[in-house]
Amino acid sequence: MRICLVTADPGHPLLAATAALLESRHRVEVLDPGADPGPMDASGAGLADVYLLKARTPRALALAAVLEERGAVVVNSAAATARCQDRVQMAELARGAGLPFAATRSVPTLARLAADGPAVPLVVKSRHSRRHDLVARADDAAQLRELAAAWPDEPVIAQEFTANSGWDHKLWVVDGRLFAARRRSELAPGGRGPTLPLPVDELPVDWCAAALRIGEIFGLEVYGVDILDAGDGAPLIVDINAFPGIRGQAGAPEALAELALRAAAGARPFTNNAPLKAT
């Protein structure tokens, strides 16, 4: 098989470990997300058997879309990845499917939000997910004005702050295989802290079911879900990420390698009708 990693960082631990598992029997290549995919004929000759879309920039999505138009298999697809880049679309799709996703309000600019005088505390995020985007908590009007002064023209979403322990529950799914950890939230006092192991069998069953259902709803095969305990074990989904790093999770490179080979062979992607595979 010819497997291509679409990434600007082939040394990323997850990708490097996955490549190491595949390289003894398969050809593993790297395609820069800003590159031209190169010439190929109408039959699709020249395409790799599968492309793993780790990059999520606009240029990477455009590249993936071109590859798909030429008949390539891309994991995750350009469309599925894009659904997670627009936080308004993400919230609408998740809540429309009945998932416990945080209520989300879209505002054209952060300056407009501050001028509206919303109830605080609240969480403010850039509408479009990207590296170094805005994710902040405003506990009062003064903090909101400070954010607006720094990001006046930024399109944002606002979510009511939900009291919680200060720990995010990070759930990751690779082709139906579930991984988990706890991470001190960047919005908690003191900022982001350590990531701690979390056995999947210690999670509530409904949390796992919701995480797995997201793959079907969004068309994702590799993704992450951030969940807060909103009280008495009630889950509140606050973010969904296409192809996250999944660092330090035993078995994740193996699951990704298996997914790459299955996708390259034309196997159907995982759906939540399959049994839960806990790790």
CATH number for position 121: 3.30.1490
Hey, what amino acid is at 174? V
What does the pLDDT profile of the chain (279 residues) look like in tens digits?
999 999 999 999 999 999 999 999 999 999 999 877 666 555 556 899 999 999 999 999 999 999 999 999 999 999 999 999 999 999 999 999 999 999 999 999 999 999 998 988 999 999 999 888 999 999 999 999 999 999 999 999 999 888 887 788 999 999 999 999 998 877 777 767 778 889 999 999 999 999 999 999 999 999 999 999 988 889 999 999 999 999 889 999 999 999 999 999 986 555 443 333 334
Give the helix ranges, DSSP H, for the chain.
13-22, 58-69, 78-85, 87-96, 110-116, 141-150, 205-218, 252-264
Q: Calculate the dihedral angle through the C-alpha atoms of 19, 23, 26, 30, rounding to the nearest 10 degrees.
A: 50
Q: Are residues 94 and 126 in the same domain?
A: no
Q: Are residues 116 and 225 in the same domain?
A: no
Q: Are residues 88 and 215 in the same domain?
A: yes
* Angle, helix 252-264 to helix 13-22, in steps of 10 degrees: 60
Task: Identify the pLDDT of residue 46.
Answer: 82
Report the candidate in 159, 167, 136, 137 with the shortest Cα–Cα distance to residue 229: 167
Angle at the Cα of 227 from the Cα atoms of 225 and 230, rounded to 5 degrees: 160
Task: Identify the pLDDT of residue 271.
Answer: 46
Q: Are residues 49 and 87 in the same domain?
A: no
Q: Are residues 62 and 169 in the same domain?
A: no
pTM for the whole structure:
0.89
Alpha-carbon span 134 to 113, nearest angstrom:
14
Residue 203 structural domain = 83-99+164-245+270-278
Q: Are residues 114 and 220 in the same domain?
A: no
Q: Are residues 214 and 131 in the same domain?
A: no
Q: Are residues 16 and 70 in the same domain?
A: yes
Which CATH number belongs to the domain containing residue 55 in this structure?
A: 3.40.50.20
Which CATH number belongs to the domain containing residue 232 in this structure?
A: 3.30.470.20
Task: Identify the pLDDT of residue 261.
Answer: 96
Q: Are residues 170 and 274 in the same domain?
A: yes
Cis peptide before 76 (omega within 30 of 0): yes
Asked whether the beta carbons of 194 and 164 are under 8 A apart, the reply is no
DSSP secondary structure letter of residue 245: -
Hey, what amino acid is at 22? L
Q: Are residues 20 and 145 in the same domain?
A: no
> How many domains would you assign to the chain?
3
Residue 180 CB contacts under 8 Å (≥ 6 apart), including other chains: 169, 170, 171, 172, 198, 199, 200, 203
CA–CA distances in Å: residue 150 to residues 108, 136, 153, 154:
15, 12, 9, 9
Write out the H or E segment, with its range, that includes residue 31: strand 27-31
Write out the H or E segment, with its range, that includes residue 191: none
